[in-house]
Amino acid sequence: MSTSREYPNRPIIGVGILIQNASKYLLIKRAAEPDKGLWSIPGGLVQVGETLKQAAIREAKEETGLNVKIIKELGYIDKIQHDEKGKVKYHFVIIDFLAEVISGIMVADDDALEALWVEPKDFKSYNLTVSLIQLFKIINLNN
């Protein structure tokens, strides 16, 4: 069975981490497809033997250098993208978590080209991924 991100044989499980610091949230600019060059939140794939929360904590550290504490689960996003012929190119089920920083110095790393703290009122200034916009609607965070 294929484990490729592109044209998978089955949905792939991922996590997203909305990291809060006072009134700001951490956005990252994606370095890889899907959504390369767009702004999103840290996240990635769940590894075999890893819980969702463990994956979220690991991905936050890998992409931002920050150690985080998971506050709560926010919901999930079905991220399905089709190619020009209508075939499913990407299919992720992403479980999103709210987290807060416990330690570390923020730095964009791994799959993140840039990382910065943003007030919700300023989200519209960034070219956000469709899945992040969906999450903001689910949790009613002004965007």
Domains of the chain with CATH codes: 12-138 (3.90.79.10)
| Catalytic hit among 33, 100, 114, 119 | 114
Report pLDDT for 142.
66
In the chain, the largest separation of any two C-alpha atoms, in whole Å, equals 46
> What are the structure tokens assigned to 25, written together?
């949230």
CA distance 64 to 111: 9
**pLDDT score of 2:** 44
The tally of CA atoms less than 13 A away on the side-chain side of residue 91 is 12
Return the pLDDT at 4: 82
Q: What's the pLDDT score for residue 3?
A: 57
pLDDT at 141: 86
Active site residue 73: no
Confidence at residue 1, expressed as pLDDT on a 0 to 100 scale: 39
The ranges of the chain with pLDDT < 50 are 1-2
pLDDT of residue 44: 95
